[in-house]
């Protein structure tokens, strides 16, 4: 990501707190408004606001969301859902499908299927609904590698992903997602223009835990996904790549100790 030529600043503090959470921050990034912590795609008074992903859909773009959390977690949800609480992942999963997001890759399978296998108490099986709506559904790395067309729902874990094999890595999901979204075809849009949000979700949790090694590992895994996006953009010549965080966690400092870098929290 340090190859990128322009550096900017984004302010994602929420409407009710100086320190934001991922829900309000994702809503700021996706919808351009300040909202209260915990809210997804809605103003503090509950008014839903259209997101950049929904705007892209309306303009005839294909769209995608990729994450190593559950795909219904706060950050991906902020781009395609409108609920009062980030904890409403059962409702968020249904809205992701209703919004016709063409590529959905991540964890969170339990929010798509009814009890006792999953978390849904409305007896809806969103996997079956996705298949009925023309989606392919893939559940592992091998199935992901065989994809040749969209739309696709990829659910690679019951909740958050492990970010270890045999699951697909974030750069693999990124490469497949961009490849499908940019491929000529008849699904969801006549021209292969697209918007996709790709999140290295677990940098956040590693930093919350002050886990230095895992914070570095998760950042490097994300950086490999950035590489995939930048290499596509260099070939394509018309794609904008933005790399940002929704917020910081943990208070990581890098200090010099006898000229060697030392991480402190």
What residues act catalytically?
A: 22
Tokens of 159: 């909740």
DSSP 128: H
CA distance 126 to 114: 9
Judge contact between 109 and 117, C-beta under 8 A: no
CA distance 220 to 241: 17
CB atoms within 10 A of CB 34: 18
Q: Tokens 């010549």 identify what position?
A: 237
- CA 110, chain centre distance (Å): 17
The helix (run of H) or strand (run of E) holding residue 155 is strand 152-155
């Amino acid at each position: 990501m340090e190859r990128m030529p322009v550096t900017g600043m984004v302010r994602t503090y929420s409407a009710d707190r100086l320190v934001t959470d991922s829900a309000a921050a994702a809503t700021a990034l996706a919808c351009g408004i300040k909202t209260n912590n915990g809210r997804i795609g809605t103003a503090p008074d509950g008014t839903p606001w259209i997101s950049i992903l929904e705007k892209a859909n309306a303009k005839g773009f294909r769209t995608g969301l990729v994450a190593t959390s559950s795909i219904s977690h706060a950050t991906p949800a902020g781009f395609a859902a409108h609920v009062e609480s980030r904890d409403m992942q059962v409702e968020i999963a249904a809205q992701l499908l209703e919004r016709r997001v063409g590529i959905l890759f991540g964890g969170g399978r339990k929010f798509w299927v009814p009890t006792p296998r999953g978390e849904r108490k409305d007896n809806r099986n969103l996997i079956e609904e996705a298949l009925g709506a023309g989606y392919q559904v893939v559940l592992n790395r091998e199935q992901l590698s065989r994809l040749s067309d969209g739309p696709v729902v990829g659910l690679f874990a019951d909740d958050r992903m492990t970010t270890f094999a045999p699951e697909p890595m974030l750069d693999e999901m990124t490469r497949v997602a961009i490849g499908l979204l940019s491929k000529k075809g008849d699904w969801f849009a006549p021209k292969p223009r697209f918007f996709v949000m790709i999140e290295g979700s677990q940098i956040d949790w590693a930093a919350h835990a002050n886990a230095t090694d895992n914070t570095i590992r998760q950042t490097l895994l994300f950086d490999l996904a950035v590489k995939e996006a930048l290499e596509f953009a260099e070939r394509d010549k018309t794609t904008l790549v933005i790399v940002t965080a929704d917020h910081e966690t943990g208070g990581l400092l890098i200090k010099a100790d006898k000229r060697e870098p030392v991480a402190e929290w």
